[in-house]
């Protein structure tokens, strides 16, 4: 079925950013329309990419039509198996390292023809061809890979926002059970790196997935002029962003846990959520780095009051200490 422009919803970018969640429950009986998939992929295609080299590609897979489904399923991490089997499509995002070596010249040329590369900024053809392009093309593949995977991340992020704006659920999924397995299943050449799998479908859980997930505080992430000087948010701006639906009610929203259990019951899966030990929950909820609002604080209290929580695995304490100390982290904060 095709679509007319008038039928495409107009969610604002800010609202799509605020509405996006990792969706983990999909309606197995509802397929995503071709036009929506096309829109999602177009969003990826239009993402910014260095030198216009177009390094990000994708394979769109549907369980019902894919001959190598079983092989792919063997590669997905265990906690993602249900998701791949119930979503509508999986987009396997790929990063083409050869775009860097093979398309830098043409990519820059397209930018010049488009009126993007100008003399104003000091671009000139001779310098580009004798210095810039050969320098870029002499990068080892490891460096190119870091640069281009970042770019694929941009494309995927943009695609997910487009999907959200069309009422679709998204989640990125690790396929780490069989390293190299996805590349092998698709027969990818060595320059084509499998970057991430992206499940798309109609959510069975509420689109808000129980509320916006808590993040670290703004001022703990952003710095002003120098590293370590907090950049403070303006509360009035945050209030306006709340009105625009970018900042939304924090998880968990009322009814979230009941919904999870209903879904588990419907598909014959185990109900409930995972819990951390009492001491760990209390330590975390009092950690000032996190932007904990009243809903998640109340949930933490409820979890502690309910009891029946697991014990901290004391036999792992030394391992965690060693792993953190290797990175110069203050273990007393986490391992008191
Ligand atoms: C690169 C990447 C890989 C992820 N892999 C998984 C995954 O394998 N399984 C899963 O359930 N969630 C996965 N997620 C989802 C994150 O856990 C999720 O984004 C996080 O819980 C924050 O919640 P939100 O996306 O709903 O805001 C992944 C997210 C990213 C960005």
Tokens of 156: 């995927």
Q: How far is the CA of 234 from the centre of ligand 1 (A)?
A: 28
Whose CA is closest to 37, among 206, 154, 162?
Answer: 162
pLDDT for position 166: 98
Exposure letters 144-178 (e unless 16+ CB within 10 A, then b): bbeebbebbbebbbbbbbbbbbbebbbbbbebeee
Residue 122 buriedness (CB in 10 A; 0-12 / 13-18 / 19+): exposed
- State whether residue 35 is helix, strand or coil: helix
Residue 88 buriedness (CB in 10 A; 0-12 / 13-18 / 19+): buried
Residue 171 CB less than 6 A away from ligand 1: yes
> Whose alpha carbon is nearest atom 23 of ligand 1?
22
Per-residue model confidence as pLDDT tens digits over 186-223 = 999 999 999 999 999 999 999 999 999 999 999 999 99
> Whose alpha carbon is nearest atom 9 of ligand 1?
173
Ordered alpha helix ranges (H), 172-213 = 181-186
Could you identify the atom of ligand 1 that is nearest to the CA of residue 173? 8
Residue 22 CB less than 6 A away from ligand 1: yes
What is the DSSP secondary-structure string of 43-91? HHHTS--GGG---EEEEEE-TTT-TTHHHHHTTS-GGGHHHHHHSSEEE
Q: Determine contact, residues 205/25, Cβ cutoff 8 Å.
A: yes
Rounded CA-CA distance 237/245 in Å is 12
**Pocket residue to mutate for ligand 1, from 22, 93, 196, most atoms within 8 A of Cβ:** 22
Q: Determine contact, residues 195/172, Cβ cutoff 8 Å.
A: no
Residues 6+ apart with CB under 8 A from 306: none
Per-residue model confidence as pLDDT tens digits over 31-72 = 999 999 999 999 999 999 999 999 999 999 999 999 999 999
Q: How far is the CA of 82 from the centre of ligand 1 (A)?
A: 15
pLDDT for position 27: 98
Residue 329 CB less than 6 A away from ligand 1: no
> Whose alpha carbon is nearest atom 19 of ligand 1?
22
Number of DSSP helices (H) and strands (E) in the chain, helices first: 16, 4
> Whose alpha carbon is nearest atom 30 of ligand 1?
172
pLDDT for position 2: 83
Task: Quote the pTM value.
Answer: 0.96
Q: How far is the CA of 258 from the centre of ligand 1 (A)?
A: 22
Rounded CA-CA distance 194/90 in Å is 13
Residue 215 CB less than 6 A away from ligand 1: no
Residue 172 CB less than 6 A away from ligand 1: yes
pLDDT for position 335: 86
Residues 6+ apart with CB under 8 A from 89: 31, 32, 37, 60, 61, 62, 199, 200, 201
Please list the ranges in the chain whose pLDDT falls under 70: 1
Q: Where do the structural domains in the chain lie, given as residue ranges?
A: 5-201, 274-334
Out of 1.10.287.180, 2.60.40.1180, 3.40.109.10, 3.40.50.720, select the CATH number for domain 5-201.
Answer: 3.40.109.10
């Amino acid at each position: 079925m095709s679509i007319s422009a008038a039928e495409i919803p107009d969610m604002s970018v800010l609202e799509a950013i605020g509405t996006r969640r990792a969706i983990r429950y999909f309606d197995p009986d509802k397929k995503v329309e071709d036009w929506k998939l096309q829109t999602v992929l177009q969003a990826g295609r239009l993402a910014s990419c260095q030198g216009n080299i177009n390094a990000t590609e994708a394979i769109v897979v549907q369980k019902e039509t894919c001959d190598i489904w079983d092989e792919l399923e063997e590669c997905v991490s265990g906690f993602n198996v249900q998701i791949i089997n119930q979503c509508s499509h999986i987009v396997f995002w790929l990063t083409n390292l050869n775009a860097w070596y093979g398309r830098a010249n043409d990519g820059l040329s397209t930018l010049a023809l488009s009126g993007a590369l100008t003399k104003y900024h000091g671009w000139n053809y001779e310098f580009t061809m004798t210095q810039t392009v050969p320098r870029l093309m002499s990068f080892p593949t490891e460096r190119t890979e870091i640069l281009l995977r970042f770019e694929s991340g941009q494309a995927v992020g943009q695609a997910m926002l487009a999907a959200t704006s069309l009422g679709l659920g998204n989640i990125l999924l690790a396929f780490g059970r069989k390293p190299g397995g996805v590349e092998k299943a698709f027969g990818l050449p060595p320059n084509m790196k499998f970057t991430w799998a992206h499940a798309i479908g109609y959510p069975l859980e509420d689109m808000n997935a129980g509320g916006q997930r808590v993040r670290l505080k703004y001022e703990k992430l952003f710095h002003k002029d120098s590293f370590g000087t907090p950049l403070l948010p303006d509360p009035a701006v945050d209030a306006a962003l709340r009105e625009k639906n970018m900042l939304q009610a924090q998880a968990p929203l009322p009814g979230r846990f009941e919904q999870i259990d209903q879904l588990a019951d419907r598909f014959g899966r185990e109900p409930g959520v995972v819990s951390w030990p009492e001491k760990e929950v209390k330590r975390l909820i009092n950690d000032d780095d996190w932007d904990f609002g009243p809903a998640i604080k109340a949930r933490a209290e409820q979890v502690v009051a309910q009891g029946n929580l697991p014990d901290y695995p004391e036999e792992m304490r030394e391992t965690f200490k060693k792993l953190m100390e290797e990175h110069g982290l203050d273990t007393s904060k986490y391992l008191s």
